[in-house]
Amino acid sequence: MLKWKRVSSGTLTLNAEVLVDMLAGMSGKNRRITKISFTPTQYKYLRVYRDAEQIVDYDSYTLNGEFPVLDMDLPLAEGQQCKVGFYNSSGATTAIQIMIGYTED
């Protein structure tokens, strides 16, 4: 079954990356992030990390505004942490909602 979780990016800072905790791997659960969605916004670059490894650096403005979803295949083992957020290259600092779809067995 696909589950969904939403977080706010928090206030964005000009020319800086702002990350928040999204999901962690748990004992006895095989979690896999399969989708990520957010409002396409000019000059904002989506960043996704699994622990210290950067998985995504994506210009959010290139997404289709009618169905702004990226397919992913990101497994999280026990103890691994997924962080999401944006690099902001413009003056607008408004927080952006980020949603993920994930499965767990």
List the chain domain ranges.
3-104
Question: Which pLDDT belongs to residue 64?
Answer: 77
The 10s digit of each residue's pLDDT in 73-100 is 999 999 999 999 999 999 889 999 999 9
* Over residues 3-15, mean pLDDT: 96
> So what's the pLDDT on residue 67?
81
The mean pLDDT value for 30-55 works out to 96
Give first-to-last CA distance, the chain, whole Å: 9
The reported pLDDT for the residue numbered 63 is 85
Those residues whose C-beta lies under 8 Å from the C-beta of residue 32, and which sit 6 or more positions away, are: 73, 74, 75, 76, 102, 103, 104
Burial of 40 (0-12, 13-18, 19+ CB in 10 A): middle
* CA-based nearest residue to 85, from 46, 31, 49: 46
- Residue 105 confidence (pLDDT): 87
- pLDDT value at position 3? 97
Q: What mean pLDDT is reported for the chain?
A: 94
Q: What CATH code is assigned to 3-104?
A: 2.60.120.20
> What is the side-by-side strand order in the sheet with 44-50?
16-24, 81-88, 44-50, 53-59
Distance CA 65, CA 73 (A): 22
